[in-house]
């Protein structure tokens, strides 16, 4: 009789345990077991060959095997160029996905309007989450005014493309990765010439090197961290503008174009890693840059800075209105921190992983180099250091407006004569008014 009572008691305990676990699952994910994800088709880096569906499908398969009570769904057919508008419409209607990819250029707006959920509590309360798996530079891409609103999914550092054929023709070796502004300027000045004697310049040093790239590589940013004032009167900023003016002067009033670079007439052009990955392998290399050999190195360092450059990121965030907070958080973590999923970034996109462990692995190196011609091997230490030192623009509400106005003013200044001190003082007055709105 005692045995029967024991068995009955054990059975009740078992049922209670099952009920308790079921309750935890219910509380964990709620009564609605469908998680909606927002994603686009194509590349956000404006290069061909990216299919994010493959990555998402693998992530869904892995997630649903771990959480069989959850169904993950997404809408197909939204082109990358239409994605921002589509997402905005969904948010306005209150029908946005629980989890959605966040384009770099949309992040400020979404965070400032409250469309993205603040992740600080989730990050701090999750003992399994370790932000150190990311590069600190790219992790900051998801921060707005000191709080985390998204996690990075893939990144795209800026590198310097180098026309090896043109340098070899002039007896100049490809610069090392620790090269400086002086090295950069010296090569550009030496390379510009009328090589065929027809009276027109047909060789040029650089194309599309911007004032912002100079500023970042000289150890400064246009605006302070909080976005309350500009750094225009700092000596490092004025140094950067003067360097860009001197560099522009090497082209002797000729307006260098992208076509000049494509035809092999230009030595240097800043480009993103996604361009390198797209146009180095066959067949895109044949279609775009088959007339000369090229490689990429880090950006040149200013006298007060380092070989740093701007970096963009594609992020994953959560709707601030999602009713499936924990479920959405777990899926965001899977997309961004799972090494198997992050390896797919190299198989299905033209960008780079945000995880140190993936970028420094031999498997990744083998994958990247299998289709590259000749000795054009991607140096993974180059990629690792470029991402690690990458610069993400400070995130604040007026950033886009302040940057666009600054960019317009500086472009006009570079093409004109005049003292930088007067220009910078006047520009600071204009831009600080925007920042203090």
CATH topology match: 31-156+311-388 vs 158-310: yes
Provide mean pLDDT across the span 171-186: 96
Q: How far apart are CA 182 and CA 107, in angstroms?
A: 36
Beta strand 311-318 pairing with 99-102: antiparallel
**Most distant CA pair in the chain, distance:** 111
Residue 403 token pair: 């940057």
Residue of 42 and 106 predicted with greater confidence: 106
Q: In the Cβ-directed half-sphere of 60, how many Cα atoms lie within 13 Å?
A: 17
Specify the CATH architecture of the domain 31-156+311-388. Answer: 3-Layer(aba) Sandwich (3.40)
Q: Residue 280 class from Cβ within 10 Å (0-12 exposed, 13-18 middle, 19+ buried)?
A: buried
Residue 19 above 70 pLDDT?
no
Output the pTM of the full model. Answer: 0.86
Question: DSSP string of 126-167?
Answer: -TT--GGGB-HHHHGGGEETTEE-EEEEEEEEEEEEEEHHHH
Q: How far apart are CA 122 and CA 124, in angstroms?
A: 5
Provide mean pLDDT across the span 156-180: 94
Full 3-state SS string of 53-74: HHHHHHHHHHHHHHCCCCEEEE
On whether the CB atoms of residues 135 and 388 are closer than 8 A, the answer is yes
Q: 3-state DSSP call for residue 220?
A: coil
**Domain spans of the chain?**
31-156+311-388, 158-310
pLDDT digits (tens, 9 = 90+) for 348-406: 888 999 999 999 888 887 777 665 555 555 666 788 999 999 998 887 888 989 999 99
pLDDT digits (tens, 9 = 90+) for 303-348: 999 999 999 999 999 999 999 999 999 999 999 999 999 999 988 8
Q: How far apart are CA 216 and CA 221, in angstroms?
A: 6
Beta strands, E only, 188-275: 204-206, 266-272
Provide mean pLDDT across the span 267-275: 92
Q: Tell me the helix, strand and coil percentages in the chain, rounded to 5.
A: 50, 15, 35
Question: DSSP string of 284-340?
Answer: HHHHHS-SS-EEEEPPPBPTTS-S--BEEEEEEEEBTT-S-HHHHHHHHHHHHH-HH
Residue 358 token pair: 């993936």
Q: 3-state DSSP call for residue 35?
A: strand
Q: Mean pLDDT in the chain?
A: 86
Residue 244 above 70 pLDDT?
yes
Q: Residue 288 has what pLDDT?
A: 59
Residue of 226 and 390 predicted with greater confidence: 390
Q: How far apart are CA 266 and CA 414, in angstroms?
A: 20
pLDDT class for 178, splitting at 50, 70, 90? very high
On whether the CB atoms of residues 300 and 180 are closer than 8 A, the answer is yes
Q: What is the CATH number of domain 158-310?
A: 3.40.190.10
């Amino acid at each position: 009789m005692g045995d029967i009572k024991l068995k009955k008691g054990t059975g009740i305990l078992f049922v209670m345990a099952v009920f308790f676990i079921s309750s935890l699952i219910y509380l964990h994910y709620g009564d609605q077991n469908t998680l909606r994800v927002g994603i686009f088709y194509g590349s956000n880096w404006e290069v061909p060959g990216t299919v994010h569906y493959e990555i998402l499908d693998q992530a869904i398969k892995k997630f649903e095997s771990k959480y069989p009570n959850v169904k993950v769904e997404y809408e197909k057919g939204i082109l990358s160029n239409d994605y921002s508008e589509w997402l905005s419409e969904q948010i306005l209607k209150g029908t946005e996905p629980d989890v959605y990819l966040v384009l770099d250029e949309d992040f400020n707006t979404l965070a400032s309007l409250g469309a993205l959920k603040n992740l600080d509590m989730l990050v701090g309360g999750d003992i399994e989450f370790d932000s150190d798996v990311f590069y600190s530079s790219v992790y900051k891409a998801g921060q707005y005014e000191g709080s985390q609103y998204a996690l990075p999914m893939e990144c795209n550092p800026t590198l310097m493309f180098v026309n090896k054929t043109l340098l070899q023709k002039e007896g100049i070796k490809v610069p090392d990765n620790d090269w400086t502004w002086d090295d950069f300027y010296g090569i550009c000045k030496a390379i510009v010439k009328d090589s065929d004697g027809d009276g027109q310049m047909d060789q040029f040093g650089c194309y599309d090197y911007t004032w912002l790239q100079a500023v970042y590589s000289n150890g400064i940013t246009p605006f302070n961290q909080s976005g309350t004032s500009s750094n225009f009167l700092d000596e490092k900023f004025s140094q950067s503008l003067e360097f860009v003016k001197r560099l522009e002067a090497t082209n002797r009033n000729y307006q260098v174009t992208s076509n000049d670079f494509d035809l092999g007439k230009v030595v240097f052009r800043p480009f993103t890693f996604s361009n390198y990955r797209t146009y180095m392998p066959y067949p895109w290399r044949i279609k775009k840059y088959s007339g000369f050999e090229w490689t990429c190195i880090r950006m040149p360092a200013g006298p007060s800075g380092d070989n740093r450059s701007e970096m963009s990121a594609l992020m994953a965030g959560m709707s601030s209105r999602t009713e499936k907070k924990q479920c959405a958080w777990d899926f965001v973590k899977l997309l961004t921190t799972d090494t198997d999923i992050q390896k797919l970034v190299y198989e299905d996109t033209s960008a780079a992983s945000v995880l140190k462990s993936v970028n420094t692995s031999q498997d990744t190196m083998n994958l990247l180099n299998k289709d590259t011609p000749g000795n054009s091997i991607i140096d993974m230490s180059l990629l690792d250091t470029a991402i690690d030192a990458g610069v993400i623009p400070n995130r604040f509400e007026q950033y886009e407006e302040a940057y666009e106005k600054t960019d317009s003013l500086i472009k006009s200044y570079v093409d004109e004569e005049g003292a930088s001190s007067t220009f910078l003082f006047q520009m600071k007055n204009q831009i600080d008014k925007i920042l203090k709105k």
